[in-house]
Amino acid sequence: MSITMKQIADLAQVSTATVSKIINGRDEHISQSTREKVLSIIEEHHFSPNTVAKGLRVKKTSTIGFVLPDITNPFFPEIARGIEDVANKMGFAVVFCNTDNEAEREQACVSFLQSKMVDGLIFTRSLRKSFFENYLSRNIPTVVVDRDVDTAGSAIGKVYIDTRAAVYDATKLLIGKGCRQIAFISAMSTSQTDRYGGYRRALEESGIALDESIVYREHYSAETGFRGAEAILKEHKVDGIVCGNDLIAAGAMQAIRQKGLSIPGDIRIVGVDNIYFSRFLYPPLTTIEQPAYEMGMAAARMLINNILYGEPMFEQKLDYKLILRETV
Shared domain for 169 and 151, answered yes or no, is no
Cβ neighbours of residue 15 closer than 8 Å, sequence gap 6 or more: 9
CA distance 20 to 6: 10
Residue 257 lies in a domain: yes
What's the structural domain count of the chain?
3
The Cα–Cα gap between 188 and 171 comes to 18
Q: Is residue 325 part of a domain?
A: no
- To which H or E segment does residue 7 belong? helix 5-12
Q: Are residues 228 and 184 in the same domain?
A: yes
Query: In the prediction, which pLDDT does 54 show?
Result: 46
**Whether residue 261 sits in one domain with residue 117:** no
Range of the domain at 19: 5-58
**Do both 232 and 194 map to the same domain?**
yes
- From 58, 79, 95, the end of a domain falls on 58
326 found inside a domain: no
Is residue 266 one of the residues assigned to a domain? yes
User: At CA 271, angle to CA 296 and CA 317, rounded to 5?
Assistant: 35
What does each of the 328 residues of the chain score in pLDDT, given as a tens digit?
A: 567 778 888 999 998 888 877 776 666 678 888 888 888 888 777 765 444 444 444 457 899 999 998 888 999 999 999 999 999 999 999 999 998 878 778 878 888 888 888 999 998 865 556 666 666 556 789 999 987 666 555 678 999 999 999 999 999 999 999 999 999 999 987 454 589 999 999 999 999 999 999 999 998 999 999 999 999 999 999 999 999 999 999 999 999 999 999 999 999 999 999 999 999 999 999 999 999 999 999 999 999 999 988 889 999 999 999 999 999 9
Predicted pLDDT at 39? 81
78: left (phi over 0), alpha (psi -120 to 50) or beta: alpha
225 in the same domain as 146: no
What is the pTM (predicted TM-score) of this model?
A: 0.77
- Asked whether residue 15 is assigned to any structural domain, the reply reads yes
Residue 328 lies inside a defined structural domain of this protein: no
- What's the confidence (pLDDT) of residue 4? 79
Residue 117: CB atoms within 10 Å: 17
Determine, yes or no, domain membership for 327: no
Q: Distance between CA atoms of 90 and 297, rounded to whole angstroms?
A: 11
102 pairs with which residues across the strands? none
CATH number, position 86: 3.40.50.2300
Cβ atoms within 10 A of the Cβ of 128, count? 12
Residue 67 contacts residue 123 (beta carbons within 8 Å): yes
Residues 177, 247: one domain? Answer: yes
Residue 204 and residue 181: Cα distance in Å, rounded? 13
Burial readout 175-184 (b: 16 or more C-beta within 10 A, e: otherwise): beeebeebbb
Domain shared by 182 and 285, yes or no: yes
Q: Are residues 191 and 144 in the same domain?
A: no
Same domain, 204 and 265: yes
The DSSP secondary-structure symbol of 212 reads G
Task: Please state, as a whole number, how many other Cβ atoms lie within 10 Å of the Cβ of residue 22.
Answer: 22
CATH number at residue 23: 1.10.260.40
Report if residue 283 sits inside a domain: yes
Asked if residue 151 and residue 80 are part of one domain, the reply reads yes
Yes or no: say if 8 and 47 are a contact pair by the CB < 8 Å rule: yes
- Asked if 153 and 297 sit in the same domain, the reply is yes
| Per-residue model confidence (pLDDT) at position 51 | 46
Same domain, 285 and 190: yes
